[in-house]
Structure 1
Amino acid sequence: MNTAESFYFPVDGIFEMFNSVTAAHQPHLTHLVLQSTAHTPALQHPKVSNISKTGMGIIKTVKGRWRQQDKRTAASRSSSSGNRQVSSDRLPKRSVDLLELGLTKPRNCHRVVVLGAPKVGKTSILQRFLGKEVEEKYEPTTEEFHRKLFYIGGEAYQVDLLDASSERDFPAKRRLSILTGDIFLLVFSLDDKDSFGEVCELLNEIRAAKAKLQKLKSPARVPAVICGNKADLEAQRAVSRSEVTETLGDGISFFETSAKDDTGLESVFRAMASLGGLPDETSPSRHHLVSIPTYQSLCSGERGSRRSRTRGPIDAPCAAVDPLARRPSFRSDLRLVLGSSTKHKKPEKCQIQ
């Protein structure tokens, strides 16, 4: 074997090729390469195109050492910050339904149906309730379904929020949403008189649908909160408070709000809680947010080791927003309506249209 041919490009070429990327590993790699070429004769003019098998072996060895070092660095970083992040295997694989899991009572589960004309601020109000920042950029809502879970006074509560504004052109679908609603939030804009007229029509539709479901001869009283949003646009106001009171009557909960400035919304959320039989602590200012794994541990009674991970006392009111919440299927909603439409043994037809 010709030693000179085997080590034709041993040292100078390797250093020239890897000099730009060996800053962090230079002492270790220099020792490795010099050790491998201790008995190699120096050449004046190496040719890069003729790398020998021995030279390629050195390159592979260097790359292998780099990979090992990168793995050690990544492992040390992961261990140092591991207590800051939740392991992915602890995250829920599906939406958390407290009723299905047997973690709450049916009377503690409520669905809030939000209705109103486009561009009146319904999504912004929901974002405030969920404890999120309001985005000023407007995007038309196709359908939004949110689920907020509460742990208050040792009891679990579930509030589903359905923004059914996209169903205004689908009467049957909107009627089904109305029939499944426990609390209604009707939103109009104080600078848009037409949006107030739409809210009045929606309120009459809700009353008629609930009366038919309950087999009442007169319009039913419904747990509805009317929200006149965009109170910050006082100069552009088109609907006065006296006009709202005169049209809707004194029995309706009406509030002027500004989702942009976060004014008046606390009263809206407390009124919704009162109408639905929920604790006042469901208002965003009365509880703190925790992660879904922490919430699940509270409901299942696994407190001990996770006590320090919550941002407040373990018995303080807390809530969690389910990131995987999806609207129940229409078949499930139909079954829910059919189950509540009659107290007779024989099920009756659900009047959707």
Structure 2
Amino acid sequence: MTNRSISQDKNDYRIVVLGSAAVGKSSLLTRFIHGTFKDSYSPTVEDTYRRVVTLDSSVCTLHITDTGGSHHFPAMKNLAIKRGHAFLVVYSLANRRSFLSLETFHAEIVSVRNTLSMVPFMVVGNKCDIKEREVSESEGLALAKKWGCSYIETSAKHDFQVRKLFEELLYLEKRHSMTLEVGQGKGKKSQVTRPQKPVQQSEPQLHKQPESQLHKCMLM
């Protein structure tokens, strides 16, 4: 089963975000979707966010699932993993335990999908704005190299490389399966590691939806 065959709608693209509690998964998604940030922490069960991008000269809807605390509901998490087209595993650069837990999340994805060789997958070190780091950049790069995926450091608080994170993920989908053709326009490329030499291409166009069309829904 290929990652594209999972979707019922070719214009839907499902991204699954995994990571320990309080690493900033919801903050990254809120920053990306709404352009806002909240300092307060609220535990998440499982939320899905949407954003529209231009792919192959047509509109594609990103469905981004924040698995949050769904470890209490393994069936719900496994369904999200099974349906996902791409994956982000997020940790806090200020929390070593959250970095070590990535092995568990990676194993969970592999146990459901069997392989990630043709699936866009990225390691994300969030909260790079915090001065007291517990995980070095070299450790994040080494883990990404071990898994053969890309690595990027972000700050949801300061909106650092949040947009680039999702542009890179779509770029990886383009490179792996060649099913998503990039739309009009260009943007700066992310400063991330790539296991292969990339080809030169345009970046996807991310569209800001009217506030009335932006929404977040709870999956039951």
TM superposition score normalised by structure 1: 0.48
Q: Which residue of 2 aligns with 1:299?
A: none
- Asked if 1:276 is matched to 2:173, the reply is yes
Q: How does 1:1-353 map to 2 (within 5 A)?
A: 106-151=9-54, 154-211=57-114, 219-221=115-117, 222-234=119-131, 236-249=132-145, 251-277=148-174, 278=180, 279=182, 286-291=205-210, 321-323=213-215, 326=217
Q: Percent of aligned positions with the same letter in both sequences?
A: 30
The CA deviation at 1:289 is 2.4
Cα deviation, 1:297-341, whole Å, max 9, x if unaligned, reads xxxxxxxxxxxxxxxxxxxxxxx8443x64677xxxxxxxxxxxx
Q: Distance in 2 between matches of 1:247 and 1:151?
A: 31
Cα distance in 1, alignment partners of residues 34 and 205 from structure 2: 11
Q: CA deviation at 1:290?
A: 4.2
Aligned-residue offset at 1:252: 1.3
Structure 1 or 2: more helix by fraction: 1
CA distance in 1, matches of 2:52, 2:162: 19
Larger Cα-atom Rg: 1
Shift of 1:114: 0.9
Q: Which piece of structure 1 moves more, 132-141 or 245-254? A: 245-254
1:201 offset after TM fit, Å? 1.5
What RMSD over aligned residues (CA atoms) do the two structures have, in Å?
2.9
Instruction: Give the C-alpha shift of residue 153 in structure 1.
Output: 6.9
How many pairs are equivalent? 189
Gapped runs of 5+ residues in structure 2?
Answer: 1-7, 175-179, 188-203
Q: Give the Å deviation of 1:288.
A: 4.7
**Counterpart-to-counterpart distance in 2, 1:164 and 1:196:** 17
User: Residue type matched to 1:276 in 2?
Assistant: E
Query: Partners of 1:164 and 1:112 in 2: how far apart?
Result: 11
Deviation at 1:172, TM superposition (A): 2.7
Instruction: Indicate the larger mover: 260-269 or 242-251.
Output: 242-251
Query: Relative contact order (alpha carbons < 8 A, sep ≥ 6): 1 or 2 greater?
Result: 2
Structure 2 CA distance, aligned partners of 1:186 and 1:179? 15
State the TM-score, normalizing by the size of structure 2: 0.74
Give 5+ residue unaligned stretches, structure 1.
1-104, 212-218, 293-319, 330-353
CA deviations 1:66-102 (Å, max 9, x no partner) are: xxxxxxxxxxxxxxxxxxxxxxxxxxxxxxxxxxxxx
* 3-state SS of paired residue (2:39): coil
More strand by share: 2
